[in-house]
Amino acid sequence: MALLVVLEQLSPAERAAFVLHDVFQFSFEDIGEIVGRSAEACRQLASRARRHVAENTGPSRFDADPAELNRLAERFIAAASNGDLDALMEVLDPDVVGWTDTGGVPGAPRKAFVGREAVVKQLFRFLDAFGVHMVAMPVNGEPGAVVYQEDRLLAVLAFETRDGRITKIHGIANPAKIAYVAGLLGAR
C-alpha cells in the first residue's frame, strides 16, 4: 500500500521509468522509445523516482505504541463526527496532506489537499454530503478508519503520523478496492 501511495505521487514519466526499469528490467533505451525521451533523461527520471520511493517507504524512525495510534484515530473520528474544528486541528499536522483514490469516479476530487484548513474543509464536505460514520481500524499496520454509510462500506482512510499528529490521510474510495475490502470485512 505504501509503495502504491508513493507511486501515485510520482510524475507519469518518473513512474514509467521506475516501473519499466526497476520492476520489468527494460533498458533505458527501450524506455526512452516508449516515453519519447532520451535514455539519459529516463535514467534521471528513474533515479529521482528511486530517491522519492526510498525517502517515503523506509522504516519508521521510531516504533509508535499501537494503542496511542488507535487513540489518535479515535480522536480524529470523534472530532470529525462532532464537527469539533478545534479538536480536529489538534490532531492534524499543520502541513497535513489528504487525497483520495476514487478510481476515476466522476465529480470526485482529483488532486491532493494540503494544509489543515483545506483538508478539514474537504473532510466536512464529504461527511455532510454522504451522512457517514467512521470506525477506527488499523490499515496496513497504521492507524486508520473505515467509513460506512449506514451498513455499506464507503471508504477506508489510512493515516500516516508523526509526533502525535496525522500528517497524511489517504482515502480509498475506488469502488473495485472497496468491494474487495468489504468482502474481507463481511460488509456490503
Q: Which domain holds residue 35?
A: 2-57
149 strand-pairing partners: 152
Name the residue among 129, 188, 127, 134 with its Cα closest to residue 159. Answer: 134
Q: Which grid coordinates belong to 38?
A: 532520451
Domain tally, the chain: 2
Same domain as 74, residue 31: no
Check residue 54 and give its pLDDT: 81
CATH number at residue 30: 1.10.10.10
Check residue 62 and give its pLDDT: 46
Name the residue among 143, 98, 144 with its Cα closest to residue 120. Answer: 98
Whole-number Cα distances in Å, 75 to 16, 67, 79, 119:
39, 12, 6, 16
pTM of the model: 0.68
Check residue 57 and give its pLDDT: 66
Same domain as 145, residue 83: yes
Measured CA to CA, the distance from residue 68 to residue 107 in angstroms comes to: 36
Check residue 56 and give its pLDDT: 74
pLDDT by residue for the chain (188 residues), tens only, comes to 566 667 778 888 999 999 999 989 999 999 999 999 999 999 999 999 998 888 776 555 445 577 888 899 999 999 999 999 999 999 999 999 998 888 877 767 778 899 999 999 999 988 888 889 999 998 887 889 999 998 899 999 999 998 889 999 999 888 888 888 888 888 77
Measured CA to CA, the distance from residue 144 to residue 5 in angstroms comes to: 15
CATH number at residue 139: 3.10.450.50
Q: Are the C-beta atoms of residues 123 and 98 closer than 8 Å to each other?
A: yes
Check residue 61 and give its pLDDT: 44
Q: Are the C-beta atoms of residues 166 and 76 closer than 8 Å to each other?
A: yes
Q: Are the C-beta atoms of residues 127 and 121 closer than 8 Å to each other?
A: no
Check residue 48 and give its pLDDT: 93
Collapsed DSSP state (helix, strand, coil) of residue 1? coil
Name the residue among 99, 97, 101 with its Cα closest to residue 177. Answer: 101
Same domain as 127, residue 85: yes
Alpha helices in 37-103 (DSSP H): 39-57, 66-82, 85-91
